[in-house]
Chain A
Amino acid sequence: MRNTYLQEVYNLAAKDRNVLSLVADNGMIVYDDFRRDFPGQYFNFGISEGHMINAAAGMASCGKIPFAYTIGAFLAYRSFEFIRLDVCLQKLNVKIAGIGAGMSYGCLGPTHHATEDLAVLRVLPNLTLLSPATAKEMKRLVNYAYELEGPVYIRLGNNLKQELYTEEMEVIPGKGTVLREGADIVVFSTGDITYHVMEAAKRLEKDGIGACVASMHTIKPFDKNFVAEAGRKYRQIFTVEEHSVIGGLGGAVAEVLAESGCSAKLKRIGLNDVYAYGYGSQEQVRSANGLDAEGIYQTIKKCVSS
């Protein structure tokens, strides 16, 4: 998915000279083509994330369309006030791309984990939050970010092995996508952990539990109608995210359900107000924190059976 992001920004830069790639000393090799072909549209701000975001806002005030890219944890937390005041309050046309969604940097640990980014950024007015699950979503949403005049944060996961969309399926910004139908429960998911949710759903089916899986690639503005409708249709609702259960997708779904007055039960699956445990590959860290297909399957199964 990161490669899809890079390719789409490359394509946009080729057709629009105002499109810029800003990095904060991150993206060795992967920016080689961009640097070679558009040297005047590429700037490395060094290890200076807040400054990069603020300077991006200054550039945007002059008509530039900067895509500022580095590790999401450093963007969401260290740069927070710059995102809040310089980008969002001024409604400037800055695109913020945070790599390392969730526990992508499994070996590096919580310093590099973006596991609270959706929560802290979701509260900011004027910010569109995109969290694609697959390359197809990424492709559409990067272009949507470009088309949209205003601040956008794109959460970039690792390259996914498998596309979850068929050719006919469409990614509609702002709308949840049903990736899999199911009559018994609905699972809302976001980001590339959705692959594991789909695997878990297959196993649930073998146990006689029909799980509908929906990808919520747009965290803000949130598809409230879609969630509220699911709240009326299903008795049990699950959310899965590689993120704290507080404030992100689970938080957004809980808010909608609470306000809609439905009686469906909600279970949020993610990090339960903890920093991710352990080191290793992303898959190993997911597994250690109950966020691989097996862990998701077990949690859902237990809730459905109880």
Chain B
Amino acid sequence: MLEEIAKEIRKDIMRTAYKGGSGHIASALSAVEIMTALYFGDVLKYDPQNPEWEGRDKLILSKGHASLVLYSVLKRVGYLSQGELDTFCQPGSALGGEPKLGEVKGVEATTGSLGHGLSFGVGIAMANKMNQKESRVYVILGDGECQEGSVWEAAMSAAHHKLSNLTVILDCNGLQAMDETEAIVSLNPLEEKWAGFGWQVSHAQGNEISSILGELKADRQCTTQKPRIILAHTTKGKGISFMEDVPIWHYRMPDQKEMEIVKKDLGLEKI
């Protein structure tokens, strides 16, 4: 069932981007199973009737340029209508290429400039501890984003404050805007780096629902005092044959001919 939802979200991403004529499609496609597992796999606690529910968990999409996947999920949750989704990146819309707090229900932080989401999440996790709230904070980072020094300031701080209520899901698709991350500024070994910063590290196949859901469920049961990170191994552009693992699709729209392939790949009759 979750696989079906993931398929529908991919269709939404492509339709929305095509209508808006904009969006970081491949980055959004990379995180589809992660977001599906979080929101529809009984991981993230939220109230579809009340986006402001005090007891909710918070999800921060630090790689905000993947907003298409967040908006598609929020539509499915019920926080956005199809009509609103259809306005993506158009004049008068609340749905920009990067999500904004206060303008879209379910968006917990304004992101877009990379290297901000984790520090913000640390602040929320610290506030939750002060308030003795059980809620968890999830932050989705991109692997290229880990080239920002601020990520590591936040990582040190989270471990120091024993933020066991904080989980990062690192969308490890191995690509950034211009090339493979390893070709630009090497990030590996990511596991040792995060472990060295005091985090508990686990791995998942980030485009396989059973794998990522299993890790997220295990994470909720975990009793360590450390903050946790799941290195979710993903494919950028997942699901669109000509986009998978091809750097140029970081920020590019398919033309009409390419859209025919998209329709075939996703089983879409029309866009």
A residues lining the B interface (CB < 8 Å): 40, 43, 45-46, 48, 50-51, 54-64, 81-82, 85-86, 89-91
Contacts and interface: CB of A to CB of B under 8 A. Distances in A.
A48 B149 CA distance: 11
B13 interface: no
A82 B119 contact: yes
A90 to B, nearest CB: 5
A90 B102 contact: yes
B119 A59 contact: no
B153 interface: yes
Contacts of B125: 58
B233 interface: no
Contact of A61 (B101, B113, B119, B160): B101
Q: Which 8 A-B pairs have the closest CB atoms?
A: A58-B123, A54-B119, A55-B123, A62-B127, A51-B153, A58-B120, A59-B123, A58-B124
Contacts of A82: 116, 119, 150
A58 to B, nearest CB: 2
B126 A55 contact: yes
Contact of A55 (B100, B110, B122): B122
A62 B110 contact: no
Contacts of B121: 58
Given A46-B157, A55-B157, A61-B108, A90 B126 contact: no
Contacts of A55: 119-120, 122-123, 126, 154, 157
Q: Is the interface of B mostly helix, strand, loop or mixed?
A: helix
Nearest to B150: A50
Contact of B120 (A43, A46, A57): A57
Nearest to A47: B153
B13 to A, nearest CB: 25
B110 A50 contact: no
B153 A48 contact: yes
Contact of A54 (B112, B131, B150, B156): B150
Contact of B123 (A40, A50, A56, A85): A56
Given A61-B109, A64-B130, 11 more contacts: A46-B160, A54-B116, A54-B122, A54-B154, A58-B120, A58-B124, A81-B113, A82-B119, A86-B116, A86-B119, A89-B100
A251 to B, nearest CB: 26
Given A45-B157, A81-B113, A50 B119 contact: yes
Contacts of B116: 54, 82, 85-86
8 contacts: A43-B161, A50-B153, A57-B120, A61-B108, A82-B150, A85-B110, A85-B116, A90-B109
Which of A48, A51, A61 neighbours the largest number of chain B CB atoms within 10 Å of its CB?
Answer: A51
Given A43-B126, A57-B120, A51 B157 contact: yes
Nearest to A49: B153
Contacts, number: 85
Interface in B181-230: none
Which of B123, B124, B126, B127 neighbours the largest number of chain A CB atoms within 10 Å of its CB?
Answer: B123
Nearest to B128: A62
Contacts of B124: 58-59, 61-62
Contacts of B123: 54-62
Interface string B97-109: 0001110000011
A63 B157 CA distance: 21
Contacts of A89: 100, 110
A58 B101 CA distance: 12
B157 A48 contact: yes
A90 B110 contact: yes
A150 to B, nearest CB: 13
A50 B116 CA distance: 9
Contacts of B109: 58, 61, 90
A95 to B, nearest CB: 14
B150 A58 contact: no
A55 B122 CA distance: 6
Nearest to A62: B127
Contact of B131 (A43, A62, A91): A62
Contacts of B102: 90-91
Given A89-B110, A90-B109, A64 B120 contact: no
Contact of B119 (A46, A58, A90): A58
Contacts of B108: 61
Contacts of B112: 85
B127 to A, nearest CB: 4
A45 B153 CA distance: 9
A86 B122 CA distance: 13
Given A45-B157, A61-B109, A85-B113, A51 B119 contact: yes
Contacts of A58: 109, 119-127
Contacts of B154: 51, 54-55
B126 A51 contact: no
Which of A55, A64, A85, A90 neighbours the largest number of chain B CB atoms within 10 Å of its CB?
Answer: A55
A244 B113 CA distance: 29
B113 to A, nearest CB: 6
Interface in B123-163: 123-128, 130-131, 150, 153-154, 156-157, 160-161
